Structure 1
Amino acid sequence: MLRSLLSGHRHSSNFKSVHPFSGVTPREPKIKFKGTHQTYCHVKDVAFLHHEPLVEIHRPIRVHERKIKKAEAKKNHERANRLQEKTPKPKIDRIIRQRYPRFVDALGELDDCLTMVHLFAALPASAEVEGQTITWLTRHSLQQVVSDDVDITTMLNFLQLYEPLLSFVNFRLYHSINLKYPPILDPHLEALAADICALSRYFGANAISYVVNSEVSQTESEQAETKQEESESGNETAELRLAQLQHQLPSNEPRAQMHLLEEVAG
């Protein structure tokens, strides 16, 4: 059974924001009894979203966004920028652990994650300097006006999920090769936008230190084994000498045997 999400709830935008995090996806019924402009979901999915804690978290976020719009409408840019910096962000660590209980599950959805993250990372930006429009991060002229068939809000909601997911995957992969995450890069190379070069240098330095540490630990273990073998051979020699001396003595001289034992022990 399907139900119109927009007509069934007053704060439907909160439910639409939770869709990417909870894994609940809208349905396409054969007969759209509320119209084609509505979003339809299963009744059980809507009931599940009612108990999702993220719904309560998104309500104060929307209140904060209305404050920002109000400040921008009043031309109070200083207050709008200050509110923009203090925008609360939901923590979705619990959601990631629930949706991806195994590392393989997270890797299976990494293709969409990388596509979305790199899409927003490579979006063209433009600025007007002395009457000239300058556009960068693109090789050809692109339209800066977003068309109506692109739902930027939904894409941003997915981006909020994919960025922490990518951080979790990178954390696991970095620690699998004994590296810290996030990596500590050379600030000079970062200032020159040579991120790949800085990352390669970071990998190389950590690989050298790892090899040196492994060689040092191997040398220490070999030295410890050599000392242990020497001590064991010394004990065997002392025991052999004691057995030879005891064999040479008559059995009726216990005092002489005790004297020899003291000499060997000394």
Structure 2
Amino acid sequence: MVNAKKKGTSGEAVAFVTRSAALSRLQVSLRQFKALCIVKGIHPREPKKNLKGRGKIYYLKKDIIFLGQDPIIEKLRGDRVIKARAAKAKGRKEYDVEAFIRTQLLPTKMDHALKERYPTFDHALHDLNDALTTLHLYSTIRSDKNFTVEDLEEVERLLHEFNLYIIESKSLRKGFISIKGFYFQALIHGSTITWQVPHTKTSGRPREIEGVVSQTFVEIYKNLLRFVMYKLYKSIGMVYPPQLDDTKKESSVGLDALLAQINAVEEDDEEEEEIEKQKTETEQRIETLNVDKLVQMEEDNKEDMEEEEEEEEKPEEDQTFFAEREHIEKQGRIFDGLKVFVSREVNRDIFVFMLRAFGAEASWEGPDAPFSVNDTDITHQIVDAGFVPKRVFIDRTYVQPQWVFDSANESFLLPESEYAPTSKLPPHLSPFQNAKLKSYIPGRRTELDKMKEAARNGLPYVKEENEELALPVRYTEEREKTEEEKYTEELEAEAAGKTFAQAQAEEAEKPKEIVVRKKEYEAANIKSVMSSSNRYVYSKMVNSQNKKEKRKRTLERKARGLAAKEKQEERE
């Protein structure tokens, strides 16, 4: 007789364990278990049946076994023993012994966990979006028991080290000002990194977010950013971590001090390169004394000439690649030669970073500023809307902050007259949306394209008097009729005893309802020959297009209303 299987010895009853069972198996607290799951990427699972009753949280047993083999578990158990010894010393009022015992509590290393989470450098770069946004968010909160002042200062320093790399490598590509904060996009090693910087304000951590969850994510992202920054600094010949000058710590939150340190390192590197260059020159002179070497050099020169001739006959694809590369290099230096002063009412950190990332010299009002407001070489000064400085310099241009972002996004310097302190600002378009792929294109987008085309040809942009820039430009779905279609319509008109012009006039005079019914009839005919699955997809497509058209008409109506309102204000 076959022995019957006992209940709970196979299937889901063995594959799943509850959270309380996992805690007793691993011998860790609930807080430590949550942090471990976040670090290792383990999530709760839902079995088909409630094995241990309702309200239970289940995990896969193999995941819990995987957690038990992690080195972090041994570190946590050792810390628990040290804390127990420290508590005993405190109970005996041996405070010196307690302080000595607590010095043995070393920070937990998660290098191996990061290697498992990000096996390659590209994987780490792809997750840098969330890391930068999270760290920027927590750099603005108030310190509490989960985030001390030292932790927040460390986060700020890591972020400024990243900004320093962006400035030195000229990797910044786009920027946008919104209600939520500032959006930036950079191109790093072929990967597009987009992150958000909130507006400068001190706020507390929301109560809905657990402290252990946020603290664990911040710790992971800090370690990730350190590893990534070491690789990035090394790729452009910089030393990581850069030294911070304590005397300039309050100057732009240490960014200026980091730049000074990097410049010093670069000077040392330039001296080493000159020494190596002199050595190579002397070695080449010695080699030229040998006749065989001279013959070899002649052959090498012939090969180089042949390679140059081959490069001249490059296909169009290579030419477009080099043209795009040249455009990217120019985009990172559109502010070259400009000396900009940021007024005190403008966000100093954001605009100093933005200006330096695109090649400008930037300063601010403060004791450690690179140059003062009275410097005669200043070309631009950024002031807030409607703000008039006490002392106005004739040889410099005063612009509003939006000019910096719009010029950087369009890759050329926009006219400063549109961004004067007393002028009404033009619309601030988002660079993260491709307007050509949408049915509605704002009038400002058309104006910027004309400006860019004129700047590319080296011509000044002249705005036409009758040009309606506030009105939108539409991409209609109507196409020009082919000669064959026109010939067919002419034949149909002749068969009906009418001229082609009369037939067109009658078609234009038809009421809109007939046109709509005709389109509905054509759509019904198309659906009749489709399968059920294709019919469902087609209806989804039509509904999506109808929503886009409705949205386009709404935006066009608003644009026309704003244009009419502006004209009325000008008349008054």
TM-score for both structures, normalised by structure 2: 0.33
CA RMSD of aligned residues (A): 3.9
Alignment of 1:57-76 (within 5 A): 57-64=75-82
The residue that corresponds to 1:102 in the other structure is 120
The residue that corresponds to 2:239 in the other structure is 180
* Pair 1:206–1:31, CA change in 2 (3 A): farther
The residue that corresponds to 1:6 in the other structure is 20
What is the identity, as a one-letter code, of the residue corresponding to 1:111? Answer: N
* Residues 141, 202 of structure 2: 8 Å contact kept: no
- 2:290 partner SS: helix
* Residues 5, 41 of structure 1: 8 Å contact kept: yes
- 2:17 partner SS: strand
Give the alignment partner of residue 155 of structure 1, picking from 198, 214, 238.
Answer: 214
- Greater share of residues in helix: 1
Unaligned runs of 5+ in 2: 1-11, 145-155, 157-198, 295-572
What is the identity, as a one-letter code, of the residue corresponding to 2:290? Answer: E
* Pair 1:194–1:161, CA change in 2 (3 A): closer
The Cα offsets for residues 60-106 of structure 1, whole Å up to 9 and x where unpaired, read as: 33455577789999999988877766533222222222332211122
The Cα offsets for residues 11-42 of structure 1, whole Å up to 9 and x where unpaired, read as: 35243231122222233567766544x54322
- 1:9 partner SS: helix
The residue that corresponds to 1:52 in the other structure is 70
Matches of 2:34 and 2:202, distance apart in 1? 33
- 1:180 partner SS: coil
* Pair 1:166–1:80, CA change in 2 (3 A): farther
What is the identity, as a one-letter code, of the residue corresponding to 1:97? Answer: K
What is the identity, as a one-letter code, of the residue corresponding to 2:18? Answer: S
Question: More relative contact order in 1 or in 2 (CA 8 Å, sep 6+)?
Answer: 1
Deviation at 1:156, TM superposition (A): 1.7
Larger radius of gyration: 1
* Pair 1:191–1:233, CA change in 2 (3 A): same
* Residues 5, 12 of structure 1: 8 Å contact kept: no
Matches of 2:229 and 2:95, distance apart in 1? 37
Give the alignment partner of residue 225 of structure 2, picking from 166, 189, 195.
Answer: 166
* Residues 26, 40 of structure 1: 8 Å contact kept: yes
Matches of 1:145 and 1:73, distance apart in 2? 34
- 2:59 partner SS: strand
The Cα offsets for residues 193-215 of structure 1, whole Å up to 9 and x where unpaired, read as: 64111122223233333334323
The residue that corresponds to 2:290 in the other structure is 232
Give the alignment partner of residue 263 of structure 2, picking from 200, 204, 228.
Answer: 204
* Pair 1:17–1:67, CA change in 2 (3 A): farther
The residue that corresponds to 1:21 in the other structure is 39
Matches of 1:183 and 1:83, distance apart in 2? 33
Higher mean C-alpha displacement, 73-82 vs 211-220: 73-82
Matches of 1:53 and 1:161, distance apart in 2? 16
- 1:184 partner SS: coil
Deviation at 1:187, TM superposition (A): 3.2
What is the identity, as a one-letter code, of the residue corresponding to 2:247? Answer: H
Matches of 1:154 and 1:75, distance apart in 2? 34
Paired residue total: 222
Deviation at 1:125, TM superposition (A): 4.1
2:140 aligned with 1:122, yes or no? Answer: yes
* Residues 3, 42 of structure 1: 8 Å contact kept: yes
Matches of 2:220 and 2:38, distance apart in 1? 7
What is the identity, as a one-letter code, of the residue corresponding to 2:265? Answer: N
